[in-house]
């Protein structure tokens, strides 16, 4: 029985440790293998719980007890008999109980793994060449460690009568538990050791090949888009409009890093493409410049700047400088396009000396090149007149939600006009824009609820804009959202502002993370309608008990996937 338990324990450990290794590789990939973003995750409540939780605490206690038992033989047999001989049998029984408890923990973790696999909610890395290599290294190292431990323990058993199977299991539990506790560190070390090599390969092969392909495409017009928010929406709007007249390639979804952009170029750029629209993101100064060195944009668009990723950039000034790298990269005959609805960008517009264009929601500066008039924001569409400085104007009706998206639409209209499309052509092309292109869409939910899905991503400007959009709805309004991340020193004040807005707009707000829940409550003057709940089933139950047919639920930011699946038809 003990021999069977010995090997079964090893099997359970191997399965759950492989799952844990894959999770940590998934987390590194989610944070784009960026050390700052990865470590910032552990400043959040959710991140801290990965390291400090009841299961880890119990495992540490078992580890310490088994370590004591395993040290006993090395005291020498005389000391062992003197100190422990009188109750050696009780010690072994306690050790077996500890091992059995650890056995049960691993068994339950394997059951949980099977359950998550069946429900398809396992958090696994997306398979890429890099992630596959990391998986092979991580799981391979685990298997080698397990084989070494099993062989070492069997050798100990055969080398001395003292090491019976009933004592060997203590060593097995101790050794495997030691590796278990260190899995986060081991996985991270594997990633970090590989980073210099992947960076070298990326710069020497991937980025150079992408850059060469762009250079060889002599007639390709490259448009770069960056900002703290609005990048993806502007890219989608502009791509849809320009595709009416040109053969357009755009970066895929939110793949806005050097690797994502380069892979997209190598895989998708064809000789027939006339325009390439590149969304550009970065988490440090110099990041945008690296991207511009690859694609060489002729047109640069700045969408908006706020304190998103302040924890990584360290200061607002660094964020502004990083975004302006796109404009600085443009040649003297390039075109810089600015969203003048953002004060930071207005300052950058004023300091720019190359050909430039300014978009504003309302004409409050004489140099504005485009602005909007007669704005009508309805539940499922926007209507407005786009007015150009030249005197041209056209009425637009676009299937996009939220008044704030007019900022991004105006940028797309202005650039399209600069590329010799007429306003009539642009207006006709804009009819093809889909609500989901803006990151905000309406879906039907369980019980006839209206689900406003804005779960693509979240930043302060977007949250406030989405909450403003809710004002249109004449129904009960429920908001489900996490706290925002990577805001550094501004985090508390930002969440207080969100709290004030939630109190103003919503009838109930469910915050899914604890990190800045107190600040949100403080901003909402401790409103009883703002509650914390992280359990997806309980969240759904609260919504069902509070809301009725045709009420509205806003899913804001990266809410748990379970909630989206449970509430959206």
Question: Tell me: the pLDDT tens digits for 284-295?
Answer: 889 999 999 999
Task: Note the pLDDT of residue 216.
Answer: 94
Given a cut of 70, is residue 76 above it in pLDDT? no
pLDDT of residue 73: 59
Please report the pLDDT score of residue 397 as a whole number. Answer: 96
Please give the pLDDT value at position 97: 83
Per-residue pLDDT, averaged over 534-549, amounts to 92
Rounded Cα gap, residues 172 and 175, in angstroms: 5
Tens digit of pLDDT for each residue in 446-505? 889 999 999 877 789 999 999 999 999 999 999 999 999 888 899 999 999 999 999 999
224 CB-side CA count, 13 A:
33
452: Cα separation from own chain's centroid: 20
pLDDT over 90 (residue 259):
no
* 298 three-class SS: coil
Which pair of tokens denotes residue 439? 């990151």
- Helix or strand or coil: residue 502? helix
| pLDDT confidence tier of residue 77, bands split at 50, 70 and 90 | very low
Going by their DSSP bridges, the two strands 441-444 and 477-481 should be labelled as: unpaired
Expressed in percent and rounded to 5, the helix, strand and coil fractions of the chain are: 60, 15, 30
**In this predicted structure, what is the pLDDT of residue 114?**
94
Predicted TM-score of the model (pTM): 0.86
Poorest-confidence range of 81-85, 415-419, 439-443, 456-460? 81-85
pLDDT of the residue at 281: 92
Least confident of 154-163, 178-187, 232-241, 413-422: 154-163
What's the pLDDT score for residue 79? 47
- Cα angle, residue 254 at apex, residues 250 and 257 outer, rounded to 5°: 90
Mean pLDDT of the chain: 90
pLDDT tens digits for range 121-179: 889 999 988 999 999 999 999 999 999 999 888 777 676 655 565 667 778 888 999 99
Q: State mean pLDDT over 14-32.
A: 95
Rounded CA separation 61/174 (Å): 11
Residue 86, pLDDT > 70, answer no
**Phi and psi of 24, rounded to 5°?**
-70, -35
**Per-residue pLDDT at 410:** 97
* pLDDT tops 70 at residue 89: no
Looking at the chain, the whole-number percentage of residues with pLDDT higher than 70 is 94
Contacts of 222 (CB under 8 A, 6+ apart): 214, 275, 276, 277, 278, 295, 296, 297, 298, 299
pLDDT the model gives residue 518: 95
The tens digit of pLDDT for each residue in 333-390 reads 999 999 999 999 999 999 999 999 999 998 777 789 999 999 999 999 999 999 999 8
Residue with tokens 């309805």: 378
Average pLDDT in the 393-416 region?
Answer: 96
Residue 271's pLDDT is what? 94
- Predicted confidence at residue 561, as pLDDT, reads 78
3-state SS class at 299 = strand
* pLDDT (0 to 100) of residue 72: 64
Read off the pLDDT band of 309 (50, 70, 90).
confident
C-alpha pair distances (Å), 324 with each of 236, 317, 361, 428: 21, 11, 21, 32
Confidence of residue 210 (pLDDT cuts 50, 70, 90): very high
pLDDT at 87: 52
DSSP letter string over 140-195? HHHHHHHHHHHHHHHHHHHH-TT--HHHHHHHHHHHHHHHHHHHHHHHHHHHHHHH
- Tens-place pLDDT, residues 387-400: 999 889 999 999 99
Q: Is residue 563 within 8 Å of residue 480, measured between CB atoms? A: yes
pLDDT of residue 254: 78
Residue pLDDT, tens place only, 498-526: 999 999 999 999 999 999 999 999 999 98
Domains and CATH numbers, the chain: 2-197 (no CATH), 217-438 (3.40.1190.10), 441-567 (3.90.190.20)
């Amino acid at each position: 029985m003990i021999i069977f338990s010995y090997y079964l324990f090893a099997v359970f450990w191997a399965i759950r440790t492989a799952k844990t290794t894959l999770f940590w590789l998934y987390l590194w990939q989610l944070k784009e293998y960026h050390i700052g973003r990865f470590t910032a995750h552990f400043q959040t409540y959710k991140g801290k719980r990965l390291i400090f939780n009841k299961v880890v605490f119990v495992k540490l206690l078992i580890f310490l007890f088994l370590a004591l038992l395993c040290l006993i033989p090395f005291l020498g047999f005389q000391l062992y008999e003197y100190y422990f001989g009188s109750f050696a049998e009780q010690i072994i029984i306690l050790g077996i109980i500890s091992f059995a408890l650890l056995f049960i923990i691993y068994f339950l973790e394997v059951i949980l793994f099977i359950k998550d696999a069946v429900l398809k909610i396992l958090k696994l890395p997306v398979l890429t060449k890099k992630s596959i290599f990391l998986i092979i290294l991580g799981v391979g190292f685990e298997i080698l460690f397990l084989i070494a431990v099993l062989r070492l323990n069997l050798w100990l058993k055969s080398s001395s009568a003292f090491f019976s199977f009933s004592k060997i299991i203590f060593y097995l539990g101790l050794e495997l538990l030691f590796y278990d506790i260190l899995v986060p560190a081991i996985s991270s070390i594997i990633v970090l050791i590989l980073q210099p090599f992947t960076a070298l390969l990326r710069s020497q092969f991937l980025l150079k090949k992408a850059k060469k392909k762009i250079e060889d495409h002599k007639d390709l017009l490259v448009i770069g888009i960056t900002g703290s928010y609005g990048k993806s929406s502007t890219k989608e709007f502009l791509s849809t409009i320009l595709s009416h007249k040109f053969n357009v390639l755009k970066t895929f979804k939110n793949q806005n890093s050097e690797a994502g952009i380069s892979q997209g170029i190598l895989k998708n750029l064809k000789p027939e493409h006339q325009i390439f629209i590149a969304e550009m993101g970065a988490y440090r100064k110099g990041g945008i410049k690296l991207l511009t060195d690859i694609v060489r944009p002729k047109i640069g668009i700045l969408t908006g700047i706020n304190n998103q990723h302040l924890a990584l950039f360290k200061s607002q000034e660094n964020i502004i400088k990083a975004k302006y790298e796109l404009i600085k990269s443009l040649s003297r005959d390039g075109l810089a396009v600015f969203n003048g609805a953002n004060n930071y960008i207005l300052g950058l517009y004023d300091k720019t000396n190359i050909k430039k264009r300014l978009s504003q929601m309302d004409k409050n500066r004489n140099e504005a090149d485009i602005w909007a008039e007669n704005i009508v924001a309805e539940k499922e569409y926007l209507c407005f007149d786009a007015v150009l400085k030249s005197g041209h104007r056209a009425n637009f009706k676009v299937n996009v939600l939220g008044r704030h998206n007019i900022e991004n639409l105006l940028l797309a209209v202005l650039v399209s006009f600069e590329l010799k499309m007429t306003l009539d052509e642009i207006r006709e092309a804009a009819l093809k824009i889909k609500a989901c292109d803006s990151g905000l869409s309406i879906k039907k939910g369980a019980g006839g609820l209206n689900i406003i899905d804005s779960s693509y991503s979240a930043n302060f400007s977007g949250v406030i804009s989405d909450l403003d959009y809710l004002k249109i709805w004449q129904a009960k309004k429920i908001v489900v959202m996490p706290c925002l991340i990577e805001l550094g020193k501004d985090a508390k004040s930002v969440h207080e502002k969100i709290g004030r807005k939630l109190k103003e707009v919503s009838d109930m707000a469910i915050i899914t993370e604890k990190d800045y829940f107190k600040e949100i409550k403080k901003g909402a003057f401790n409103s009883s309608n703002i509650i914390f709940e992280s359990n997806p089933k309980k969240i759904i139950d609260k919504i069902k008990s509070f809301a009725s047919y045709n009420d509205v639920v806003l899913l804001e930011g990266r809410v748990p996937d379970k909630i989206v699946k449970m509430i959206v038809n």
